[in-house]
Amino acid sequence: MPWLLENGKRYTFEEVKKGMAESSSAIRFCSAWLNEQPDFSLQTSGSTGIPKKITVTREQLKASAQITAEYLKLKPEQTALVCLDISFVAGLMMLVRALEVGMNIIVTPPEANPLQSLDPTIRIDFAAFVPYQVETILKSSHHEKLNAIENVIIGGAPLSEQTKTLLQPFTNNLYATYGMTETLTHIALQKINGAEDNTFQVLAGFDISTDARGCLTVRAAHLGSEVIITNDLVELISKTQFRWVGRIDDVINSGGVKIIPAKVEATVASVLS
């Protein structure tokens, strides 16, 4: 029977479902999920427009979770670490993936180094972090704990070139993610360690293209008929691969020459390193 561990207290999924667990935002969501709640409300970050509340269905969240679970080969009885704020889609989807697969769940506060207070006897198989958390872990004595996690996804902001370099010797599976609330987190993953380019691999179920501005557009059956138009400039490599160039909002037009700060920053960082 899979379990959920939070604040030092462990509960079976059945106890969570029946409301026998001490209340928290994570446990309330898990209870709603296990009791077949059909719809959920999410707050968008503003990646594709003005931040707003959107309603998504249980089936949409399940489809997204299954796509990631299949790609990463997540298995029942493995353990997932949820150390992101679950009021946002990245943290919430970690719960959905674990619940759908039947993984054990460890919930910690979204602190800078969520690995420092973990029970060293519990093996973590899957975790999601933001770049700041990864940078903090790398500066601590817990970087080996990071390397021991079989599958790690990192998103919310681009990783710096320096951080990517520090992660190269790691032997686990480290991925940068591309996605947003409107796509129910990531649509594509980029292998960080062992990879020589910055290519994102599009996950099954998603169709990508670009609009007249050169910005990525996304379509997926589980997201409905609407095409999701982003403000992310990309270079399409194939129908299933692309390179992220930068945000069109950040482009500087200097004498007719378009300067993309993200590219400049990456170039400078590579020279300085």
Q: Is residue 57 part of a domain?
A: yes
Confidence of residue 46 (pLDDT cuts 50, 70, 90): low
Place of tokens 């987190």: 185
> Average pLDDT of 57-62?
98
pTM attached to this predicted model: 0.90
Angle between helices 58-72 and 89-101 (to 10 degrees): 70
Buried b (16+ CB within 10 A) or exposed e, 57-73: eeebbbbbbbbbbeebe
Question: Does 119 reside within a domain?
Answer: yes
Averaged confidence pLDDT in the chain: 91
Report the pLDDT averaged over residues 102-116.
98
Residue 186 has pLDDT above 70, yes or no: yes
Would you say residue 67 has pLDDT above 70?
Answer: yes
pLDDT band at 98 (very low <50, low <70, confident <90, very high): very high
List the CATH number of the domain containing 75: 3.40.50.12780
29 assigned to some structural domain: no
Query: Does any domain span residue 194?
Result: yes
- Please report, in angstroms and rounded to a whole number, the separation of the first and last CA atoms in the chain: 48
C-alpha 169/C-alpha 179 separation (Å) is 26
Decide if 186 is inside a domain.
yes
45-49, 102-106, 259-263: least confident range:
259-263
DSSP tag of 203: P
Question: Is 228 inside a domain boundary?
Answer: no
Residue 191 falls within a domain, yes or no? Answer: yes
Q: Give dist(CA 63, CA 145) in Å, integer.
A: 30
Number of domains in the chain: 1
Query: Range of 103's domain?
Result: 38-205
